[in-house]
Amino acid sequence: MCSIIGINGQNVNNRLFKMLNILKHRGPDATGIYSNGKLFFNEEINDKIDESEFILAHNLLSIVGNNEIQPIKSGNLVLIANAEIYNYEKLLLDYNLDNFKTNSDCEIILKLIEKFYGNNLKEAVLKTISLLDGDYAFCVYDNKDYVAVRDEIGVKPLHYAFDENTFSFSSESKALKAINLNNSQSLNPRYAIVNNSLLKIRDEFTRYESKIPYEDLKNELKTNLLEATKKRTKNLDHVALLFSAGVDSTLIAILLKKLNVNTTLYTIGTENSQDLKFSKKVAKDIDMPLKTWIINQEIIEKQLEDTINTIEDTNLMKIGVGMTIKLTSQLASKDNQKVILSGQGADELFCGYNRYKNKYDTPAELLDELTHDLNNMYHVNLERDDKATMSNSIELRVPFLDRNVIETAVKTPIKYMLHSNEDKIRKHILREVAYEMGVPEYIAFRPKKAAQYGTGIDKIIKKKILKKKEFTKLLENY
């Protein structure tokens, strides 16, 4: 939806403007700044804004309507947010909130904090986030204290860095590096930033094995996945779907069709790649529109450096996945898509990765590994994916990481997901749910193929591109 920036220190104006410019791709529709108690928007912003020790800034990507410009101010509180709040309307009714200044669901955050505020900003924020159902990163300031937080799984990014003179946070670490803050870290979703310091605010998710019957868990999962998809597409005229024709993305496609959401599937890959082959067949079988892009070595070479700069990582696996998502969202952007959905999170939730079967015979260790992976998705996969789609000014939404879907997954017994240490398809409960909801059998039980392999990108990078000195130097010198 946007980028958010906060900076605290001396002589910070020029650095702030540089950060805003670096992150403009995340919010090309409007820019706002809060400084010295005043709000400045778009053409009002210039280098003559008075110096201030603490400044908040926002770049807007408008998804629905054009009135969501931030920062938002109410009384002595000011908010910047990168957020989608899915229980917005319920909160309005439950807490009898009114007098809104914008059409943005982000303002519900400010109104709740204002309602609970009693000269203790931290407590008001903690009460507010306990009520929010959504994906968010935001900062609120009361002219004395500030608190910055992100959602409990870390779908929306937030990075911070500091030196002896400055503390700053932003939606992407590249903005921090641009002002020579080179020790940037991703904010752990279990913590908040309170006045330049970290404060623990949540516990981690914990995997355990419930005694809920298999059929009951399946029905719960069906209900929660459908509702999660419905939330993420409400009020949207059309959406894009990152489509590999694996079980996860095909299930989301089926859910979108059930909800009558105007959807286009997008797939990229080398000629004759598995993803392209299966995507064309599945799209035809489920009767949904598909757009494809056949890529080759030349395109991959041209995109390599930009992909590395986008995801800020030289790990070959992350480059392969990041390029897949970046190019697919680039294809969607040509159709003016603003929101793209993906099946991210399904493998961590339902034992999808091949490595999980190695701990089948030690279930306690497997539960620990699943717990670790779920709690660390934010900096392993989610930030990479967010950067890749937002580089094309498209917002990523992930139905599998809905709170209710996660709560179903964390209590699912291993035996419902994994059948042996030789299990070749894994995540059985999800596959059966997908099949029963309309995913073709040949896809519901199709073995997983990682994005970088299914598209053919990884093979070209490893076997052809990395043999060229200029590309090995690129990786070495990044």
Backbone angles phi, psi at 343, to 5 degrees: -90, 20
3-class SS at 376?
A: coil
What is the CB neighbour count within 10 angstroms for residue 183?
A: 11
Instruction: Answer for the pair 60, 70: CB distance below 8 angstroms, yes or no.
Output: yes
DSSP for 95-136, please give it.
TT----SSS-TTHHHHHHHHHH-SS-HHHHHHHHHTT--EEE
Q: What's the rounded Cα separation, in Å, for the pair 329 and 174? A: 20
Instruction: Answer for the pair 57, 34: CB distance below 8 angstroms, yes or no.
Output: yes
Cα 274 to Cα 77, 250, 279, 332, 456: the distances in Å are 52, 14, 8, 20, 8
Q: What's the rounded Cα separation, in Å, for the pair 34 and 70? A: 9
Can you say whether the dihedral through the CA atoms of 304, 310, 316, 317 is positive or negative?
Answer: negative
Contacts of 384 (CB under 8 A, 6+ apart): 311, 313, 318, 321, 322, 325
Q: Which of 2, 106, 139, 351 is catalytic?
A: 2
Instruction: Answer for the pair 378, 186: CB distance below 8 angstroms, yes or no.
Output: yes
2 is catalytic: yes
- Which two three-digit tokens encode residue 27? 């919010």
In one-letter notation, the amino acid at residue 228 is: A
In DSSP terms, 73 is beta-bridged to 78
In DSSP terms, 269 is beta-bridged to 294
Q: What's the rounded Cα separation, in Å, for the pair 404 and 399? A: 10
Q: What's the rounded Cα separation, in Å, for the pair 4 and 79? A: 10
The set of catalytic residues is 2
